[in-house]
Structure 1
């Protein structure tokens, strides 16, 4: 009797173990893989600018590749630092991404008193594209080229005003580099986004703006503005008739930016890998590359460690340039 009871108990234990094992196996098989809900890309500027455009373009590609909706959330202000801190403090689950720029990641420590660590609080996922800047003036400014602009500014110190998309951002820093190397005195006017600043140049509310190539390309034939010079080492194919600033100002540093996807540190490797792969696939597609290039954007297919290396290199390059411009963290 006791032997039979022990046999029954043993059989029951085996059955329970098998049931538990089967349940665990079923649960494991049914465990959802990332992603299972919408992904948000946080953009650090107002709608309509270069970064916003790139976020929306790559967001469409991610939605197709990952089979979930991708939403763009614009959180403008403080040269994008508000958005950067928001993402740095977000759950590291892969559902909140940052369409970061060189401004919030590589130069922020030297221009602002920030409450996040650009290197430790983010994981670089995939760069998307970049471009130089273009000195753009309202048509009422009596200058047809860079040399005439410099001459006019020196004859009228403090008369010209120059908009930027936020203090400490690259539209601001590129303008300061231009002013520093040309010796001109202009009044800086900060805005909460690139589209707002450029819009006021077109409308004649301000005189000048150092804008991303992709932002100003649509205005290349607009009689209301003039595109005087690009901040790259050489001319760009999208604006072949616009000279490089170095042609008129020998020795002026080359200034270019990038826009890429980052996430909060600690994101699941699966999420990082799938986003990186989706971005690389998009940038390898000739039709998508043409969309970027037509908008004045140079595709930059760099993911994970390669993207991280660019960030570290930019930090080394920009630190002395910002100090040269006399900017201190505020």
Structure 2
């Protein structure tokens, strides 16, 4: 080998090592500045409540602030797209759910791939929903409500947080179970839906227990059941829709954390450890349970488990969405 060739190879190896070094050093020292957790829905909604409960214990684990950034619109697809294009450095992550990371792929023409463009970090709690109504609805239980709905189907309004949102999917499911069609009214987010429900502008909403339970307990709305097959431990007085007259009616919606594709594996592991520690904190788990959330089992907390769940849910929901002809707006 000539001297010139040896010098060239030595230089090339040095450049490659130099290029890799900053990334390795970065990953090992992560984090050195605040982490932004994007929430793809307005403030005060179920996703935002969850993010704010988790942000403090995650901050304690990471040793850096966790900044919540709410970016709403298009059922969360705008925010998810922004994170897909973010630098894969662990400083921008997203708290999404069944709607943002499964359903939106079937109702929108997305400029990103929900599976290929993200790194799963950790599964978060699952929420069931409550069927709640404006205080003036003239029904004392689910059976009376069903009779009233069928007698006034053309006039009934059900608010949703937008096409493909959990509240929308359950409303479609509810219509099918009753064999009736109602007016589904889309909103920009859950807080706006609930505000109009309390004001009496719409009749019904399927809202996640985390935000619906406080309203139910305050008496601001009427409550007709939970979408679980068993009563919630934190709300044993609220019957299930299954026992109230809709056999096997069930709808649950899970949350998760994702980072942009290409985020270093040890950064993902660091974020996963922080999320797991937060969920394991007794005060956090009690607060979430009090809101009706069901925490993941230990075997569901690995990044791979969230990825597997996401892929299986895409396979499950895609044909249902196509059959219902649900389209994003």
* TM-score (normalised: structure 1): 0.87
Q: Which moved more, 1:130-139 or 1:232-241?
A: 232-241
CA distance in 2, matches of 1:249, 1:307: 33
The aligned counterpart of 1:311 is: 310
For 1:201, which of 192, 197, 200 is the aligned residue?
197
- In the alignment, structure 1 residue 113 sits paired with structure 2 residue 109: yes
CA distance in 2, matches of 1:292, 1:56: 11
Q: Which moved more, 1:80-89 or 1:247-256?
A: 247-256
- In the alignment, structure 1 residue 171 sits paired with structure 2 residue 167: yes
Q: CA deviation at 1:113?
A: 2.0
CA distance in 1, matches of 2:122, 2:68: 17
Q: CA deviation at 1:149?
A: 1.6
CA distance in 2, matches of 1:145, 1:326: 31
Q: Which moved more, 1:76-85 or 1:141-150?
A: 141-150
Q: Is the 8 A contact 1:202 1:225 kept in 2?
A: yes
CA distance in 2, matches of 1:317, 1:233: 19
Q: 1:130 to 1:307 in 2, by over 3 A?
A: same
Q: CA deviation at 1:283?
A: 1.6
- In the alignment, structure 1 residue 266 sits paired with structure 2 residue 265: no
Q: SS state of the match for residue 233, structure 1?
A: coil
Q: 1:78-89 maps to which residues of 2 (within 5 A)?
A: 78-89=74-85
Q: Is the 8 A contact 1:164 1:191 kept in 2?
A: yes
Q: Is the 8 A contact 1:127 1:300 kept in 2?
A: yes
CA distance in 1, matches of 2:141, 2:107: 31
Q: What is the total number of aligned residue pairs between the two structures?
A: 305
Post-superposition Cα deviations, 1:109-159, rounded to whole Å, max 9, x if no partner, equal 222222211110111101121111111101101122222122111111221
Q: CA deviation at 1:295?
A: 1.8
Q: CA deviation at 1:107?
A: 1.4
Q: 1:62 to 1:203 in 2, by over 3 A?
A: same
Q: 1:223 to 1:285 in 2, by over 3 A?
A: closer
- In the alignment, structure 1 residue 321 sits paired with structure 2 residue 317: no
Post-superposition Cα deviations, 1:229-250, rounded to whole Å, max 9, x if no partner, equal 1111221112212221122344
Q: Which moved more, 1:166-175 or 1:316-325?
A: 316-325
Q: Is the 8 A contact 2:163 2:327 kept in 1?
A: no
CA distance in 1, matches of 2:198, 2:246: 29
- In the alignment, structure 1 residue 244 sits paired with structure 2 residue 243: no
CA distance in 2, matches of 1:165, 1:284: 30
The aligned counterpart of 1:9 is: none
Q: Is the 8 A contact 2:74 2:328 kept in 1?
A: no
Q: 1:215 to 1:153 in 2, by over 3 A?
A: same
Q: Is the 8 A contact 1:123 1:264 kept in 2?
A: yes
Q: Please tell me whether Structure 1 or Structure 2 has the larger radius of gyration of its CA atoms.
A: 1
- In the alignment, structure 1 residue 160 sits paired with structure 2 residue 171: no
The aligned counterpart of 2:181 is: 185
Give 5+ residue unaligned stretches, structure 2. Answer: 1-13
- In the alignment, structure 1 residue 60 sits paired with structure 2 residue 56: yes
CA distance in 2, matches of 1:199, 1:218: 13
The aligned counterpart of 1:289 is: 285
Q: Is the 8 A contact 2:83 2:259 kept in 1?
A: yes
Give 5+ residue unaligned stretches, structure 1. Answer: 1-19
CA RMSD of aligned residues (A): 2.0
Q: CA deviation at 1:329?
A: 6.1
